[in-house]
Amino acid sequence: MARLQLSITALNETGYGVGQKAGQTLTVARTAPGDQVLVSKPQSADRWSRADLLQVVHPGPDRVTPPCPAFSRGCGGCQWQHLSYPAQMAWKQKNLSHLLRSQAGYKGELHPLVLATALQGYRNKLSLKNALGKLVFVPEFDGSTLAPSECAVQTPALQAAWAALQGIRVPMVIEQLHLRSNAAGQVGLHAFVREEKGFDAALRELWTACGWAHGLGATSRKGYRAVAGEPVLAQTLGRITWLLPHNGFFQTNAVMADALLALVTREAKAGRTNRLLDLYCGAGFFGLALADLAHEVVGIEENPQSVAAAEASARYSGLTNTRFLAGDLGAVLATLEKPALATNSTEIAVVDPPREGLLPRAVEALVARAPQRVVYVSCHAPSLARDYKLLAKAGYRGVSCTAIDLFPHTSHLETVMTLER
């Protein structure tokens, strides 16, 4: 097999090491800046191409022994296990700065990254696939399986649940099982079911085998159903409790959710005269937590189940100034009535879209609405950079930006940017 010698000089936003060879830029997984490596023949002759790591000849200064034993066996669940935490942080900050400053023209403040307080045991969500009756974690790289005790980023409750599932044969009609844990150590299960035939029997069998689980829900072509046990898993922070169906979205980093809320609260600067728009609100994570600070909260979310969860959670937490609307963000925002607020009152929008960022009709509706302040929470910086340019063109000014490390050992980054009109 052809082998090339390569020096890795940088890490790109997707977590790959980057090096130059004969006019080509090669990206190589599992490498670190300063590494001298042997790589395979590039996958293409294009100016940019992937190549596979064959051997680390001389390790760079930031390379560490991966704390996770499965990483060296090929697990790609976390792609930066071989990088020291300070180096992970430095590259996240550097790549974000390049994207926002050089590519998007952002001129506001760029604060230092908020570091993760726990590098292990933080992840409260786990997805397992059914491989011939056995539930396995399928990492990105080579499909080798992972033992529950090896995956140290999962919460202890999920590690224990995963271990308990190892001894179970799962009916083939169940394609995937998602698990969520909460601070009380309860675990909710959600099954994705291939077809209706055999649905009831399969789920009964699964539930019987999972005496330790808090509840079981399932999705089939007919939609979501609560199947057995408790229909919701409660997640509590401060005085708010979110009651989430077992397929409901909640911040995946259980340990840092508080820090993210504190950051968004600080940036929103909501006051008793403000109406807070919680856009892409999911089950109302930001809206419910900030409700006491604002005159009124209006959330918009396309998933009706999440909207129902937000409403139930507001009632449960004793809030009376929130409402949640189901539908496409652009369409609902465009028709939302203007607030009947006192003079000098303003609208503030917390915007937390999926990875793709804002769709054109959402940008249009937001710009037409013209909230005084927009706090944009992004889990994909390239989408944020693109949307920032559009909002800047429409009269918004980027004031401040802070990234927060919700996903240690990966190249993923959560970024909170505040824009003002």
Taking the complex as a whole, how short is the minimal distance between the CB of residue 239 and ligand SAM, in angstroms?
A: 17
Only segment of 109-117, 167-175, 193-201, 351-359 that touches ligand SAM (CB under 6 A): 351-359
Q: Is 258 in the site for ligand SAM (CB under 6 A)?
A: no
281 is catalytic: no
Q: What tokens were used for 204?
A: 């009964």
Q: Is 405 in the site for ligand SAM (CB under 6 A)?
A: no
Q: Is 52 in the site for ligand SAM (CB under 6 A)?
A: no
Binding to ligand SAM in span 54-113, by CB under 6 A: none
Residue 28 or 254 with smaller CB distance to ligand SAM: 254
Q: Is 137 in the site for ligand SAM (CB under 6 A)?
A: no
**For residues 328 and 177, what is the distance between their CA atoms, to the nearest angstrom?**
28
Q: Is 301 in the site for ligand SAM (CB under 6 A)?
A: yes
Residue 247 or 346 with smaller CB distance to ligand SAM: 247
How many residues touch ligand SAM (CB under 6 A)? 19
Annotate each residue in 309-348 with x if it binds ligand SAM (CB under 6 A) or - if it does not, as one string.
-------------------xx-------------------
Handedness of CA 283, 110, 113, 272 (dihedral sign): negative
**For residues 390 and 385, what is the distance between their CA atoms, to the nearest angstrom?**
9
Torsion of CA 152, 306, 236, 298, to 10 degrees: 130
Taking the complex as a whole, how short is the minimal distance between the CB of residue 350 and ligand SAM, in angstroms?
A: 8
Torsion of CA 354, 181, 78, 220, to 10 degrees: -60
SS3 (DSSP) at 129 = strand
**For residues 219 and 213, what is the distance between their CA atoms, to the nearest angstrom?**
18
Taking the complex as a whole, how short is the minimal distance between the CB of residue 228 and ligand SAM, in angstroms?
A: 25
Question: Whose CA is closest to 294, among 400, 404, 371?
Answer: 371
DSSP notation for 2-63:
-EEEEE--EE-TTS-EEEEETTEEEEETT--TT-EEEEEPPS-SSSEEE--EEEEEE--TTB
Annotate each residue in 207-246 with x if it binds ligand SAM (CB under 6 A) or - if it does not, as one string.
----------------------------------------
Q: Which residue is nearest to ligand SAM (CB)?
A: 282
Only segment of 146-154, 204-212, 263-271, 298-306 that touches ligand SAM (CB under 6 A): 298-306
Q: What angle do CA 210, 140, 189 make, to 5 degrees?
A: 20
Which of 91, 162, 199, 280 contacts ligand SAM by CB under 6 A?
280
Q: Is 286 in the site for ligand SAM (CB under 6 A)?
A: yes
Place of tokens 């090929």: 74
**For residues 329 and 339, what is the distance between their CA atoms, to the nearest angstrom?**
18
Handedness of CA 318, 319, 320, 322 (dihedral sign): negative
Give me the catalytic one of 68, 151, 210, 379: 379
Only segment of 35-43, 210-218, 302-310, 386-394 that touches ligand SAM (CB under 6 A): 302-310
**Angle between helix 360-369 and 381-393 (nearest 10):** 50
Interface positions with ligand SAM (CB under 6 A): 249, 251, 280-283, 285-286, 300-303, 306, 328-329, 352-354, 379
Residues belonging to the active site: 379
